[in-house]
Amino acid sequence: MATAIIGIGNLGGTVARELASGGEPVILSASSQAKAKKAAAQIGSAASAALNNRDAVQRADNVVFALWLDPMREVIDEVADLLPGKLVIDPSNPVSVAADGTLTRTLPEGESSGELVATLLPQGTRFAKAFGSMGATMLASNAFRQPQRAVLFYATDDATAASEVQRLIRVAGFDPAPAGGVAKAGRIEVGGDLHAWGGLNGRLIDIDEAALLVGPAERASVVAK
C-alpha cells in the first residue's frame, strides 16, 4: 500500500510526515519536482518524490489532495482517468485565508467542500473526507497522544473507503470516528460542529466523547471497535 500526497504545503506536509512516521510509504507531488524531492528528503526513507501529479497517482493506492479548492478542481481534472479503483481523501475546507489570518467562506453556507469534491470524481473512485478537521499545527503535535489517542473524524458513503481511511488515520496516530456520509462532510469542515475551528472550539476529543457527538447510526460503529 502507498499513499500519494498531492500538495506539500502546511496540511499536506504534516499528513505526509505523520503517515510516514507510522510506516506508510508516501509519494509526494508538489507544484515542482524539486519541491517534492526536498520534502521527501526531509521526511526520510518512507517518502519518495513523484515526477508529477500523474506519476504520484499512478504509483499509489490512496490519494490525498491537500490543495485549496481551485487547484483541487484543476488537479482532479488532470488525473481523473487514473482515479477509478483508488481511494481519494479530501481534507479541504471551503475557506480562503487573508494575510491577517481571517477566514472567509468560498462556498455558499450549507455547501461543503466534501460534497463538491465528491461530485468531481470519476465513477469507480472511492471517496472519504478526512484529515482536515483540525489545523495542521494541532494535527502535527497530537499524533500518538497518550494515554488516549485523539480522534480524527471522517465522512464517507462507502464501506471500503471507511475501512481504508480508518487504517490511514490509525497509521497517522489518531483514532478514527465516523461523522456520517458525504452529506455530513460539513460537520468536519471549518465552522462545523465536529471541527476544531467550529463547534469543538479548539478542543481535541477522544473516542468516548466522539461516540456521544456522532449520530446514532455512526455511534454503533464507534462503540463496536
Ligand X SMILES: NC(=O)c1ccc[n+]([C@@H]2O[C@H](COP(=O)([O-])OP(=O)(O)OC[C@H]3O[C@@H](n4cnc5c(N)ncnc54)[C@H](OP(=O)(O)O)[C@@H]3O)[C@@H](O)[C@H]2O)c1
Verify binding: residue 11, ligand X, rule CB under 6 A.
yes
Peptide bond preceding 147: is omega within 30 degrees of 0, i.e. cis?
yes
Residues 28, 64, 75, 213: which binds ligand X (CB under 6 A)?
75
Contact 55, 80 (CB under 8 A): no
- How far is the C-alpha of 175 from the C-alpha of 130, rounded, in Å? 12
- Residue closer to ligand X (CB basis): 92 or 166: 92
Q: Please list every residue from 107 through 146 that binds ligand X, using CB under 6 A.
A: 132, 135-136
Residues 16, 19, 20, 67: which binds ligand X (CB under 6 A)?
67
Q: Supply 205's cell numbers.
A: 476529543
Q: Please list every residue from 154 through 173 that binds ligand X, using CB under 6 A.
A: none
Verify binding: residue 71, ligand X, rule CB under 6 A.
yes
- Residue closer to ligand X (CB basis): 188 or 211: 188
Residues 22, 91, 173, 181: which binds ligand X (CB under 6 A)?
91
Verify binding: residue 20, ligand X, rule CB under 6 A.
no
Verify binding: residue 12, ligand X, rule CB under 6 A.
yes
Q: Please list every residue from 37 through 66 that binds ligand X, using CB under 6 A.
A: 53, 66
How many residues form the binding site for ligand X (CB under 6 A)?
A: 25
Q: How far is the CB of 104 from ligand X (least distance, A)?
A: 12
Verify binding: residue 31, ligand X, rule CB under 6 A.
yes
Q: Strand pairing partners for 202?
A: none
Query: Distance of CA 139 to CAs 53, 58, 208, Å?
Result: 24, 27, 19
Verify binding: residue 82, ligand X, rule CB under 6 A.
no
- Residue closer to ligand X (CB basis): 11 or 211: 11
Q: How far is the CB of 19 from ligand X (least distance, A)?
A: 15
- Residue closer to ligand X (CB basis): 92 or 112: 92
Verify binding: residue 9, ligand X, rule CB under 6 A.
yes
Provide the angle, in degrees to the nearest 10, between the axes of the packed helices 10-21 and 33-43. Answer: 40
- Residue closer to ligand X (CB basis): 60 or 211: 60
Placement of cell 477522544 in the chain: 206
Q: Name the amino acid, one letter, at 39.
A: A
Cα dihedral sign, 159-172-29-133? positive
Q: Name the amino acid, one letter, at 112.
A: S
Instruction: Report the candidate in 207, 168, 197 with the shortest Cα–Cα distance to residue 16.
Output: 168
H helix count then E strand count, the chain: 9, 10
